[in-house]
């Protein structure tokens, strides 16, 4: 009974392959859910409007997708950000200061100009978040630049 469904599914995928014309270098999701950025509950702000304005003004939108997301899950850590590309996702937490968002913007501009996601600035090394059971402690997907400032 199961096999006919599987072959029907495969035929469907052949006929309607999932492709997009909107290919990007990476995808940055900035959480603004129930906790992140909820200043009414005493949480640190997320500069959402500034991020959206800068992302647009710097011409990043078509190369590095910016999404202001709902809750990403680990609410006990303030201000969660994920950065994804074809290799996977790097989670960051504790992005609570404006200078960190500015550094993310500068990293995104440099990555756009380089045509690939560059190593994250070293200041984010301590912001790595591991939200999954059984994750190793070896860090994320992206190598961090030593003391080099990416701008
Ligand atoms: S609101 Fe950001 S992780 Fe839940």
Residue 138: pLDDT over 60: no
Do the domain assignments include residue 123? yes
Q: Is the CB of 71 under 6 A from ligand 1?
A: yes
What's the pLDDT at 94?
Answer: 98
Split at pLDDT 50, 70, 90, the class of 15 is: confident
Do the domain assignments include residue 1? no
Residue 3: pLDDT over 90: no
Do the domain assignments include residue 86? yes
Tens-place pLDDT, residues 112-121:
999 999 999 9
Residue 25: pLDDT over 60: yes
Residue 1: pLDDT over 90: no
Q: Is the CB of 74 under 6 A from ligand 1?
A: yes
What's the pLDDT at 144?
Answer: 63
C-alpha span between 9 and 15 (Å, rounded): 10
Please choose from 29, 45, 73, 77 the residue to mutate so as to test ligand 1's pocket, defined by most ligand atoms within 8 A of CB: 73
Do the domain assignments include residue 97? yes
What's the pLDDT at 6?
Answer: 62
Do the domain assignments include residue 7? no
C-alpha span between 119 and 124 (Å, rounded): 10
Kind of pairing between the strands at 81-85 and 26-31: antiparallel
What's the pLDDT at 150?
Answer: 40
Q: Is the CB of 34 under 6 A from ligand 1?
A: yes
What order of strands is seen across the sheet that includes strand 64-69?
A: 64-69, 26-31, 81-85, 88-92, 128-129
How many structural domains comprise the chain? 1
Q: What is the mean pLDDT of the chain?
A: 88
What's the pLDDT at 103?
Answer: 98
Q: How remote is the CA of residue 83 from the centroid of ligand 1, in Å?
A: 15
Do the domain assignments include residue 151? no
Please choose from 42, 45, 67, 71 the residue to mutate so as to test ligand 1's pocket, defined by most ligand atoms within 8 A of CB: 71
Do the domain assignments include residue 147? no
Output the CA–CA distances (angstroms, integers) from residue 49 to 6, 52, 89, 105, in the order listed.
45, 5, 24, 13
Split at pLDDT 50, 70, 90, the class of 151 is: very low
Do the domain assignments include residue 94? yes
C-alpha span between 62 and 27 (Å, rounded): 10
Q: How remote is the CA of residue 76 from the centroid of ligand 1, in Å?
A: 8
Q: Is the CB of 68 under 6 A from ligand 1?
A: no
Rounded to the nearest 5°, which phi and psi values hold at 30? -110, 120
Q: How remote is the CA of residue 61 from the centroid of ligand 1, in Å?
A: 23
Higher pLDDT pick, 146 / 119: 119
What's the pLDDT at 140?
Answer: 56
The domain of 39 spans 21-129
CATH code (residue 92): 3.40.30
């Amino acid at each position: 009974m199961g096999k006919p469904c599987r072959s029907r599914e495969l035929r469907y995928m052949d006929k309607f392959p999932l492709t997009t014309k909107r290919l990007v270098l990476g995808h940055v999701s900035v959480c603004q859910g129930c906790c992140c950025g909820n200043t009414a509950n005493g949480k640190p702000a997320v500069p959402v409007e500034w991020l959206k304005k800068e992302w647009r003004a710097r011409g990043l939108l078509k190369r590095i997708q910016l999404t202001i997301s709902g809750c990403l899950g680990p609410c006990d850590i303030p201000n969660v950000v994920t950065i994804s590309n074809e290799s996977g996702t790097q989670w960051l937490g504790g992005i609570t200061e404006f200078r960190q968002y500015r550094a993310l913007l500068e990293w995104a501009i440099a990555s756009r100009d380089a045509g690939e996601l560059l190593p994250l600035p070293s200041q984010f090394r301590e912001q790595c978040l591991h939200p999954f059971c059984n994750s190793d402690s070896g860090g994320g997907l992206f190598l961090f630049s030593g003391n080099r400032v990416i701008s």
